[in-house]
Amino acid sequence: MIHQVVSQGQTVRIELDGKPVYILPIDRNNAVSVEGPLGKTQIEIKDHNVRITESPCNNKLCIHQGWTQQGTIICLPNRIIVTIEDGSHQSGTVDAITG
């Protein structure tokens, strides 16, 4: 199930195992939790930035990446991807990553 709260503008897309779980506006402060195979990962959106605040992974590289306004944060061990999009992403389209 996907929790979509926006229809246009910049969004934060959160995926688990390559499937969307949340699509949230980047201009609205929010915090969500996603249950991955290792446990819960906490994601925070604040002041047009996003970060991972907690993760059960060992190396915590996703947390050390800190705040970002563009691009992607990946927690590979917990299979969570957080991407900032411009709102033009269409479900089902092919891109350079998914082929």
Domain ranges of the chain: 3-85
Task: Indicate yes or no: pTM above 0.85.
Answer: no
Q: Considering Cα of 96, then 94, then 57, then 41, what sign does the dihedral take?
A: positive
- The CATH classification number of 3-85 equals 2.60.320.10
Adjacency order of strands within the sheet including 39-46? 30-36, 39-46, 49-54
Residue ranges in the chain assigned as alpha helix (H) = 61-64
Maximum Cα–Cα distance across the chain? 36
pLDDT tens string for the chain (99 positions)?
A: 556 554 456 999 999 999 999 999 999 999 999 999 999 999 999 999 999 999 999 999 999 999 999 999 999 999 999 999 986 544 444 344 444
